[in-house]
Structure 1
């Protein structure tokens, strides 16, 4: 329930509601979406794609490249 209250507070701060959704600024919508996604990650309900790791492709053995 705390999370829903947090989302409601954020929506009010950004002046978002079902009535203003079609006229809301892109910045307000992006900010709200970002906060929702961050909270979902914090709750462990969504995987964080920005985790540290190595995603380089294999370049071959020494001298192969």
Structure 2
């Protein structure tokens, strides 16, 4: 089981978040491409977790979730 993803790491740019290894950005060992995988906070902002958790709550008007 992979370790839990920290919600607001201090320096997310220093780590590759692509797999459970969480390698340093300058020493990718998994071979998963040549670039590091960014943390969701880098892509979606500080409220990324609220956005992610709220995504399943929206309905499309037909009474069913999308």
TM-score by length of 1: 0.31
TM-score by length of 2: 0.31
Q: For CA contacts below 8 A with separation 6 or more, give which structure has more relative contact order.
A: 2
Larger Rg: 1
